[in-house]
Amino acid sequence: MNSEYRSIADIIPESSKVLDLGCGDGTLLECLRREKKIVGTGIEISPKGVQNSISKGLSVIQGDLEEIIPNYSNNLFDFCILAQTLQELRNSDRVIQEMLRISKFTIIAFNNIVHFRNRLKILFQGKLPQTKELQYDWMNTNIMFLSVKDFEEYCFKKKIIIASKKFFSKDKIIKKWPNLRAKSCIFVINNIVD
């Protein structure tokens, strides 16, 4: 399991109720069920991802998470996770607001587009880089790119509390200059400040 999933698992206490949005093949949910004894479910749009998750004995709903999450009751989950899916949403603000409504804590993980290596590629090549995290040409994706600073400013504007945050470059934790040095990040946010 990668360091991002390991860090997410470390955040979640045993026996928590968890919803994993864009759960893929269920790797994270399976780990949480095994190690933390969580009660969990996932939402995944990919039929193959759903099939792989169900083959692991996981409860996963197939569909568009943006259409499904408004149907959940307030504070139904302890944790709602959105790992490497935020950048693919049509209305990310609405999804984050729904996540905050249906869970006590929301975990959001994404790749930091402005990592210094990407900045150098843009500087010297004059175009968006293709990397392991950014595999597609601009014309073949509708992925929205964001940075650590973008997300922190969003939380500030929306009066969302950032309970904790971690930054990574591969398996190394980044403590200084995360907007420049981190390849990926995890934010734990909770309910909006009144």
- pLDDT confidence of 16, banded at 50, 70, 90? very high
Does pLDDT of 55 surpass 80?
A: yes
Which residues have CB under 8 Å from 86's CB, separation 6+? 92, 95, 96, 108, 110, 146
Q: Would you mind telling me the total number of residues written for the chain in this entry?
A: 194
Query: Is pTM beyond 0.75 here?
Result: yes
- Output 92 or 135, whichever has higher pLDDT: 92
- pLDDT for 170 equals 77
Interval 157-192: pLDDT, tens: 999 999 999 988 877 888 888 776 788 889 999 975
Give the strands of the sheet with 39-44, arranged side by side.
Answer: 59-62, 39-44, 17-21, 77-83, 103-111, 184-192, 160-169, 172-173
- pLDDT for 136 equals 52
- Residue range 75-93: average pLDDT? 92
Q: Considering the chain, what is the average pLDDT of its residues?
A: 86
As a whole number of angstroms, the distance between CA 105 and CA 126 comes to 39
As a whole number of angstroms, the distance between CA 53 and CA 43 comes to 10
Do the beta carbons of residue 186 and residue 163 sit within 8 Å?
no
Closest CA relative to residue 29, chosen from 46, 15, 42: 42
- Output 52 or 121, whichever has higher pLDDT: 52
Q: ∠ at Cα 169 (137, 82), nearest 5°? A: 65
- pLDDT for 115 equals 57
- Output 168 or 137, whichever has higher pLDDT: 168
- Pick one of 3.40.50.740, 3.40.47.10, 3.40.50.150, 3.90.650.10 as the CATH number of 3-112+143-192: 3.40.50.150
Task: Give the torsion sign (CA, 66, 68, 73, 76).
Answer: negative
Does pLDDT of 138 surpass 50?
A: no
